[in-house]
Amino acid sequence: MTLLSSIRGPADLKRLRRDQLPELAGEIRERMIECCSITGGHIGASLGVVELSIALLYEFDSPADKILWDVGHQAYTWKLLTGRNDAFPTLRQRDGISGFLKRSESEHDQFGAGHAGTAMSAALGIATARDLQGEQYKVAAVVGDGALTCGLSYEGMNNAGHSGRDIILIVNDNGMSISPNVGAISKTLGGIVADPRTNRLRELVKGMTFKLAEVFGERVVDFAKNLEESVKNLFSAGMFFEELGFRYFGPIDGHDLPKLCDTLRFVRSMSGPRVVHVVTEKGKGFHFAESNREKWHGLAAYDPVTGEARKKASGPPTWTQVIGDGLSALADEHPELVAITAAMPSGTGVNIFQARHPERFFDVGIAEGHAVTFAAGLATQGIRPVCAIYSTFLQRAYDNVIHDVAVQKLPVVFCMDRAGLVGEDGQTHMGLYDIAYMLAVPEMTVTAPKDGDELIGLLRTALAHDGPFCTRYPRDKAPAEPRPVRDVPAVPYGTWEQLRRGQDVAILAVGTMVAPAVEAAELLAREGIECGVVNCRFLKPLDMATLELLAAQYRTVVTVEEGTIVNGFGAYLAETLQTTHPEVRVIALGVPDRLVEQAPRAEQLALCGLTPAGIARRITALQHEHEESLGAR
């Protein structure tokens, strides 16, 4: 029996001797490497915090003490040690455990997440509730150095430091976001780690503090703490945290279990806002992950022996590659074009742009709101910024989209990757809301391409348009290899494309739903239902000329979109037609108004009825209902 298999929860862990913990860390790494090789997942991020997770559960008293993990993608050890070892092979699978932390999954998961930067604010909320309710427990937030590029983290720290509440911030500093971390804070943290003078002094004082604590107890320790503080303030960049109202401890080697345990025990025994700066190595203990930390941050199933992906890339490129190549090529024609990412250069494909046009590429950190307002500033000066941001993360910047871009009618282009159903990342990462939220923005042109060529064409249209413009595409392969960028013309602004003519039903399809709609129409034709199919590549403005023709021709219009049905394209179209053509009924197909569980994207599409067969089924049912109602009259 391994140590890991004997652990059902923190109580079992606490029964181990301290000198057994490194052996446990080894077993955890093996288990993670093996399971993730089948399921895929955030292996690199999780390998880096094995010791930190063990030490937190060993020294704190979870779930009475509340430990929060920012994002939660790095919390695989946490899962393994809090009763989810047996379920671990189901990670990210349909009906399996989540790739992130979820309150519904375990009493040890204090706050669900998936987006970065929330832990500090949520932890302060919990600490405040504790104080209001007169309870006694500890609250700690583990936040990566990447998440310290989020404005939200500072809003939380500013509030927490000032509050004086008993709260602990643990900075997991591995120098990496998904790609190498950016910005001044990252440099500051690096400076603390690199300064041997500060380190020696701090070690000296800390050693004294621990010894005094052992011999004289808490009262005399106060003196030592003051001494330690003064030394730190004199010499250290930890001052940054101290100025915000946090007592600073660190930097601690995050793979040194005894040191971690000692420090956490000591820090736990204190009160007030304090920060523990833990230095870890992403991918620790797995040489593939150590040698390419960006690739191994999170990835699909791999062969643990060779490190190669299990599923070889074949067929057409992904949408992400199409946009990366497309933007790079368009930048050759448009010297005013720049690309902005919020810490996702490879995820959004703009790393391709970065390689070709480094001076026109900006990674602003995990700071979507800032990215958008930064773009708006650039646009006021005649630069043409393209913000490549996942649909789910752009939610963070909604006010900036409206207040800074749309109200000023600035020509910022938004390229929303991972729009639609996202598969295994699950609920927190769904790109289901962008159609609804972008349609509501005045001045915004809202588009969705049916294929790679159309994406390039729409980018050309966007660059010729003087106003805010967005486009969306899914986490998937493009339907076909696109043509060379120079051969692809702009899409005429505000136009739809009629792909098929019929007389019974008009299917108005958006983006990824165009191909399934065409297939559905073919299936329906075999049943004697003749459908027209229109590619509604512009969701706003609507192509009113084509819409008039359709309204004259069809009594039933079915819209199909890969987005929430609430306030989506169907709702927008229905609202338009109800005044001009009340005789036309509009039926909207899309993602139902509920949370969609993790599963492969293809399964999620099928569950939502967004496949050729699903669309055809709905239209057949509609036609039958229609005929019955006619018969009843």
Binding mask 298-327 for ligand TPP (x = CB under 6 A): ------------------------------
Considering only residues 74, 82, 328, 341, which one is a binding residue for ligand TPP as defined by CB under 6 A?
A: 74
243 is catalytic: no
450 is catalytic: no
Separation of alpha carbons 347 and 359, rounded Å: 20
What is the end-to-end Cα distance of the chain in Å, rounded? 74
* Site stretch for ligand TPP (CB under 6 A), options 97-105, 339-347, 418-426, 435-443: 339-347
The torsion angle over the Cα atoms of residues 250, 253, 254 and 258, rounded to 10 degrees, is: -100
Binding mask 122-161 for ligand TPP (x = CB under 6 A): ----------------------xxxx--------------
Is there a cis peptide before residue 251, judged by omega within 30 degrees of 0?
Answer: yes
Pairing mode of beta strands 538-540, 497-500: unpaired
Q: Does 121 bind ligand TPP (CB under 6 A)?
A: no
Q: Does 174 bind ligand TPP (CB under 6 A)?
A: yes
Q: Which two tokens stand for residue 604?
A: 């999620």
Query: Residue 392 carries which side chain, given as an amino acid letter?
Result: T
Considering only residues 66, 92, 396, 475, which one is a binding residue for ligand TPP as defined by CB under 6 A?
A: 396
**452-464 helix and 319-333 helix, angle to the nearest 10 degrees:** 40
Annotated catalytic residue: which of 281, 368, 561, 562?
A: 368
Residue closer to ligand TPP (CB basis): 42 or 232: 42
Cβ 405 to ligand TPP shortest distance, Å: 18
Q: Does 366 bind ligand TPP (CB under 6 A)?
A: yes
Cβ 366 to ligand TPP shortest distance, Å: 5
Separation of alpha carbons 44 and 286, rounded Å: 8
Cβ contacts of 550 within 8 Å, gap of 6 or more? 506, 508, 532, 534, 557
* Site stretch for ligand TPP (CB under 6 A), options 259-267, 337-345, 439-447, 547-555: 337-345
Count of positions on this chain that bind ligand TPP (CB under 6 A) = 25
Residue 389 is inside which H or E element, if any? Answer: strand 384-390
User: Are the beta carbons of 434 and 378 closer than 8 angstroms?
Assistant: no
Q: Does 393 bind ligand TPP (CB under 6 A)?
A: yes
User: Are the beta carbons of 176 and 343 closer than 8 angstroms?
Assistant: no
- Which of these, 433, 406, 408, lies nearest to 419 by C-alpha position? 433
Q: Does 177 bind ligand TPP (CB under 6 A)?
A: yes
Residue closer to ligand TPP (CB basis): 48 or 479: 48
282 is catalytic: yes
Q: Does 116 bind ligand TPP (CB under 6 A)?
A: yes
Separation of alpha carbons 507 and 513, rounded Å: 10
Cβ 324 to ligand TPP shortest distance, Å: 17
Q: Does 551 bind ligand TPP (CB under 6 A)?
A: no
Residue closer to ligand TPP (CB basis): 117 or 482: 117
Cβ contacts of 98 within 8 Å, gap of 6 or more? 91, 92, 105, 426, 598
Cβ contacts of 159 within 8 Å, gap of 6 or more? 121, 124
Q: Which residues are catalytic?
A: 282, 368, 396
Question: Site residues (CB under 6 A) for ligand TPP?
Answer: 45, 70-71, 73-74, 115-116, 144-147, 172, 174, 176-178, 282, 297, 342-344, 366, 368, 393, 396
